[in-house]
Amino acid sequence: MIALDDIRRILDAHAKLRVPAASVEPNDDLYASGMTSHASVNVMLALEDAFDVEFPDDLLTKTTFCTISAIGAALDTLVTVDA
């Protein structure tokens, strides 16, 4: 399982949220919290770097990066497959 706090750390660095990621619940809409689609690209790159994975095209959708839990679920599939 991916630790959600690892994701929060990356969100703090790259998502340009209006609030600290610590205050964002797993199912809160990150775009509603201020993440732009441009920032979501940087989040994706940082996640790839941190977890040593590559998001395939079919996961490169807005919903994949919409919430912390969605990001965690997507990473779980990639990390499991790569392990």
Partner 1 sequence: MSATTIQPTVTLAARAAVVAAIAAQYAADVDAAARFPHEAIAALREHGLLGTSVPREFGGESATLADLAAVAAVLGAACSSTGMIFAMHHSQVLSLTRHLDGAPALELLVSRIASEQLLVASATTELGIGGDVRSSLCFVDRDGQTATLAKNAPVISYGAEADLILVTARTDADSAPSDQVLVACDRDSTTLEETSGWDTMGLRGTSSRGYRLTARVDLERVVPTPYEAISTETMLPVSHTLWAAVWLGMSRAATEISRQYVRAAARRSIGSLPSGATALVGLIAELERFEALVTAAGARFDDLSADRAALGSVGYLVSMNNLKVTASTLVADIVARALSITGISGYRNEGQYSVARLFRDAQGAALMVHNDRIIANTAQLILVQKGS
Q: Give the interface with partner 1 as residue ranges (CB under 8 A).
A: 14, 42, 45-46, 48-49, 54
Q: Which is nearer to partner 1, 13 or 26 (CB)?
A: 13
Shortest spacing between CB 6 and partner 1, in angstroms: 16
Shortest spacing between CB 22 and partner 1, in angstroms: 21
Shortest spacing between CB 14 and partner 1, in angstroms: 6
H-only helix segments in the chain? 4-14, 37-51, 68-82
Q: Which is nearer to partner 1, 27 or 36 (CB)?
A: 36
> What is the distance between the alpha carbons of residues 8 and 6, in angstroms, rounded to a whole number?
5
Q: Which is nearer to partner 1, 57 or 80 (CB)?
A: 57
SS3 content of the chain, % helix, strand, coil (to 5): 60, 0, 40
> What is the distance between the alpha carbons of residues 8 and 21, in angstroms, rounded to a whole number?
5
